Amino acid sequence: MDGIGVNFLSELVGTAMLIILGGGVVAAVSLTKSKGFGAGFLMVTFGWGFAVFAGVTVSYKSGGQLNPAVSLAQAILGNITVGEMFLYWIAQIIGAIIGAVIVWLAYKQHFDEEPDPAAKLGVFSTGPAIRNYAWNLVTEIIGTFVLVFVVIAFTNGKTPAALGAVPVAFLVIAIGVSLGGPTGYAINPARDLGPRIAHAFLPIKGKGSSDWSYAWVPVVGPLIGGALAAGLSYALLPMA
């Protein structure tokens, strides 16, 4: 494959790995009869941090972006073209769908035993603790701004893989424990949209609604946050 093909596959595989482990920890904590049932929000935040570590590690070839908001920032900074950005977005969403399907396969019996449709949806996508679209949007903008701005600061404008998987993982954990309470900190459009699509088409017993009325918040908010972080970087941060 040429460089574009390698980058596409790298982002797809990395995002799938992110969702397998990130969605997997939510399933372990949330679904009836799982051995991790009831382990709590802190377990989820650490699980997502380790999921980011794994995803960034296996997608080093493409820079370990795994997030349309990060790819948007990279396009604004001139590190990738707009065409490459859209290609990365497609790869990230497909990878997220695949990862979500794999989580469902791993926990199929537990999905069948779980009586609460909200618990099932929560494995796939985020939702607000208090539903207020404007304030939920603000929370997602802030969380994603922190993610992208700090990554840019550490890497002098380069991709997350240039920083290394471990610091990015700890940054995601920090965002989760600090800013994750209001919305579940999607901070990544692909992380939410891809699994929500999977939830909609998978034959999940008693799954209920996919909550499409909220789905735009974890897409629009992170994109705004990523763009703001890239813009402010020009004024405040050293660029390589």
pLDDT of res. 24: 98
23-60 tens-digit pLDDT:
999 999 999 999 999 999 999 999 999 999 999 999 98
Percent pLDDT > 90 in the chain is: 86
User: Which domain, by its residues, includes 209?
Assistant: 3-234
Average pLDDT, stretch 155-163? 69
Residues across the chain: 240
172-230 tens-digit pLDDT:
999 999 999 999 999 999 999 999 999 999 999 999 999 999 999 999 999 999 999 99
Whether residue 64 is contained in a domain is answered as yes
Whether residue 240 is contained in a domain is answered as no
Residue 126 sits in a domain whose CATH number is 1.20.1080.10
Three-class DSSP category at 183: coil
pLDDT of res. 239: 67
Whether residue 239 is contained in a domain is answered as no
Q: How many domains does the chain have?
A: 1
pLDDT of res. 234: 83
Q: What beta strand segments (E) does 76-167 contain?
A: none
Average pLDDT, stretch 65-84? 95
Whether residue 187 is contained in a domain is answered as yes
pLDDT of res. 104: 98
- Residues ≥6 apart with Cβ < 8 Å to 30: 37, 114, 119, 122, 123
Closest CA to 69 of 221, 172, 171: 221
pLDDT of res. 1: 55
Q: Which residues of 152-185 are buried (b: 16+ CB within 10 A; e: fewer)?
A: bebbebbbbbbbbbebbbebbbbbbeebbebbbb
On average, the pLDDT of the chain sits at 94
In the structure, what pLDDT confidence band is assigned to residue 235 with cuts at 50, 70 and 90?
Answer: confident
- Note the pTM of the prediction, 2 decimals: 0.94
Whether residue 182 is contained in a domain is answered as yes
pLDDT of res. 236: 85
82-99 tens-digit pLDDT:
999 999 999 999 999 999
Whether residue 190 is contained in a domain is answered as yes
pLDDT of res. 96: 98
